[in-house]
Amino acid sequence: MITIKLSPEVYDSAISLAHFRYQMSRASKLVNQKQDKTRTELDIEKLGAKGEFAVATLYNINPPVTTGWDSGYDLWFCSKSIQVKTTFHTDGQLLFRSKEKFVADFAVLVAEDSNCPMKMTIVGATSKDYFFTHAIKKDLGNGEVYTLSQDKMAKPENFWKYMMEKRYA
């Protein structure tokens, strides 16, 4: 795990992106398929945007773009796509409602630091193929989801090494 603190500028960009996405979702009458029923839609959007900016910052890739809809592709490197999944729980798992919802080449799990909302911990990464093979179907209280525990994920530094090999090989 690698914890980074978002700069005030990056944090502001993440919060602005979250507000934009929230407003677009409301205007489009979209319903978020969140698992966490105790937090607001805006809280979930803020968490997700901060996670995306944290991954982009750590791996030095282009930050997320402002789009009006969620294609499932949050970030890109060397023509490979990344879905960023962010959790409020330090022991959280990578979750997808169905395997079909994992559309990118990779997923990266990020956890928010409960003591400092500008600190985000990049927990690990997985490929789609690995997730499909190793994910476990569980009911966490809001219906069944596919989960991958943190210990089954590649460490952030191993994912960085893979990215550098793709970028410079």
First to last CA, the chain: 25
pLDDT tens digits, 59-111: 999 988 766 556 678 899 999 999 999 999 999 999 999 999 999 999 999 99
Boundaries of every domain in the chain: 2-168
Confidence (pLDDT) at 8:
95
Query: What is the distance of C-alpha 34 from the center of its chain?
Result: 13
Neighbours of 142 (CB within 10 A): 12
Q: Which residue has the tokens 């934009």?
A: 20
Interhelix angle 41-59/8-28, nearest 10 degrees: 140
* The model's pTM: 0.88
Confidence (pLDDT) at 20:
86
Residue 125 has which token pair?
């990464």
